[in-house]
A and B are shown apart, each in its own frame.
Chain A
Amino acid sequence: MANTASSAAVNGKPQVLKESYGARCKKDFFINWKLYLIFLPILAFYIIFNYIPMYGAIIAFKDFSPQYGIWGSHWVGIKHFIDFFTSPDFGRILGNTLTISFSTLIFGFPAPIILALMLNEVKHSIFKRTIQTITYMPHFVSLVVVCGIIKNFVADTGLITSLLNSVGLVEKTDLLGKKELFVPIYVITGIWQEIGWGSIIYLAALSGINMDLYEAASIDGAGRWRQLFAVTLPGIMPTIVIMLILRVGHIMGVGFEKIILLYNPLTYERADVISSYVYRRGLMEFNFSYSSAVGLFNSVINYALIIFTNWFSRRAGESSIW
């Protein structure tokens, strides 16, 4: 219907198409200039806070010196990239980033799905809502406080340390000082923070499943477990796939905030990821150009991964992220 209408309009007024780009711009500006004016501050915001820093990333190809500034410093080509790729840090932080990412993915990704499936079985609505409210809570606690609590609980006399000690799993020492425990602590506390909040989206998907499907399945003689695999999981699969794609797209983008709050020189070997390395080399040790190069490398990889995963999901016939 809309199609015929628009083609009729085109047939009726072919001159509309012939208008040049400049003329259309002019006309558009004449009608909408007030609207563009309102938008101007927003555009300025993006230019100032996003696009100029992107341009500033050219210091990755320069030797930044404060006296010449970003624009005036000398070009050095890809020196900093070569330095990074040939440094022993490269393998270590790349490995750590992947280890932390995949551990979070393997353990952290299914957790909210399982919680949502379990909550979905509860018919008592007050009980269900109470559990939801409580498990959402850690999401709202600030990261500084979360890490403060973690530090305190796994200190030599901390709650977790003494509980684990009483069953003979660890000695009474600061667990954050043990490099092999950094990833488990990071992943488990991450689940603690996000399991409840992450389940919301799956609960919504679950509530969208048509009840008739369950009835049909049970008439066909499907038991509860069979229904889970034949009705429930397929019902929430699109949501799972989208969430998984989003996660995979960010596999190289482990955030540094929690890392730099929890790590210390004793655990750098296992805890240091690309972003925390950029932070430390750049803002603590003032190797501005070198760390910009590392950061740019990371940004480009992240960007490519996101584009690729989205392309992949579109190809695979699942809905795309944008």
Chain B
Amino acid sequence: MQIKESIGRKVFLGINALILLAVAIAAFYPLLYVTLASFSNASQLMAHDGVLLRPLAPNIESYRATFRNSFILTGYTNSIIILVIGTIVSVVATTVAAYFFSRKNVMHQKTLMKIVMFTMFFNGGLVPTYLWMKQLGMMDNLLVLILPTCLNVTNILIMRTAMYGIPESLEENARLDGAGHLVVLSKIIVPLVMPTMAVIALYSAVGYWNSWFNASIYITKRSLYPLQLVLREILIQNDTTKMIDDVTIAEQAQVSETIKYAVIVVSTVPILCLYPFLQKYFVNGVMIGAVKE
């Protein structure tokens, strides 16, 4: 039954929409500001005060300096290598682990699950982990940025839930035909849990792309820096000197202000552009994660 909406209700809905709009603007404007500033003229930008609604004297100098810079480019390359290998390793390892935990009649499964789950709640701590990685010879090795974070318990549980949903009869037929674990996993299970694999791949890809801390303690060689570490140098430590190759000191001062914005855009845009198309999967991930085991 449709009740005619009262004036009070309409006013409420109007105010509600306005507040939501304000929240959205607050969420988005910082990113917009950064983008506008990156296309602006550095000295005009420094003289400018407050809100920016369009680029000031639009130019792409900062982007030129960014793409000319070798640290940014190697950072980019390293991050892509880490992302690609890391995501593949994550998805494969998660699928294998979930496969093991989704089997029936395996005696030590529960104990092993406890061993895995315990790591969610307790860890050795920063320093013992660091010393052990050092002892393993993981310093200045890109593997240290890939392996320690490739498995996570939540993902295993999400994947296991997906595998529980597969009708047993499907596997049984294959088993009667003499299929082993690897065949069952690759020919029957994997095609059916593809959507979940996609979710896990997306999450680990974003995780690898955005992570910086492990690199900051394990990577000392500049040639191995991932992008986020280069960004930290420019944005947090305010060190743009290494950024600007072959320009005069006067020009340096000009670009060093806007180059910060340009590197933010260059590093963040790939994710933000892809994300609206992938949003469905990300949101699904939150849902499956929430409906636990």
Contacts and interface: CB of A to CB of B under 8 A. Distances in A.
A32 B119 contact: no
Contact of A224 (B9, B123, B276, B293): B9
Contacts of A183: none
Interface residues of B, number: 88
B167 interface: no
A240 interface: no
Contacts of A142: 209-210, 212, 228, 231, 267-268
Interface string A30-70: 01101110110111011011111111110100001000011
Contacts of B131: 56, 59, 64, 70, 288
B12 A35 contact: no
A22 to B, nearest CB: 12
Given A35-B181, A52-B132, A151 B235 contact: yes
A141 B27 CA distance: 12
Interface in B130-154: 130-132, 135-136, 147-148, 150-151
Given A131-B24, A152-B260, A56 B147 contact: no
A135 B119 contact: no
Interface in B211-248: 212-213, 217, 228, 231-232, 234-236
| Chain B residues touching A, majority SS | helix
A100 B21 CA distance: 29
Given A38-B96, A131-B20, A131-B23, A204 B290 contact: yes
Contacts of B293: 322
Interface stretch (A3-11, A89-97, A102-110, A291-299): A291-299
A122 interface: yes
Contacts of A226: none
Contacts of A115: 20, 23
12 contacts: A28-B107, A32-B103, A134-B24, A140-B206, A144-B232, A157-B46, A159-B33, A163-B51, A200-B286, A278-B125, A278-B126, A283-B126
